Amino acid sequence: MRPVLYTFGLFASAAMLIFVDYSPSDIANQVSLLVLILGAATLGIAAPRWAWLAALVLGGSLAAMHAINLAARVPLPLPDITARLGWCSHIVDLDHSGRHRRIPRSRRRCVGATAS
């Protein structure tokens, strides 16, 4: 396999992996894993001597992108938990103070409904 085509495929796989991982969807993690495995397997089969390079670049691309986003203070598109809780969203403690709070009796039924 020609090095130019391999390099293009490597960077295309890494770009697709980062694009898929940046989605706020609930299944973005599973799709990212699928793209990671298929991209590394395809590049490893195409050029077995350079399989280590595909593993290194694809395996480190997500960590590097998250580090760049954190350094640039770009917000990551995480799914909003309050949207999934619906009418029970008032029980979510969003201040992350670390203190344990007692949930009032009227809200305990809501906690039980979301846990089941």
**Rounded distance, CA 76 to CA 94, Å?**
17
pTM over 0.85: no
Q: What digits encode the pLDDT tens for the residues 82-103?
A: 455 555 545 554 445 555 555 5
What confidence category does residue 38 fall into, taking pLDDT thresholds of 50, 70 and 90? very high
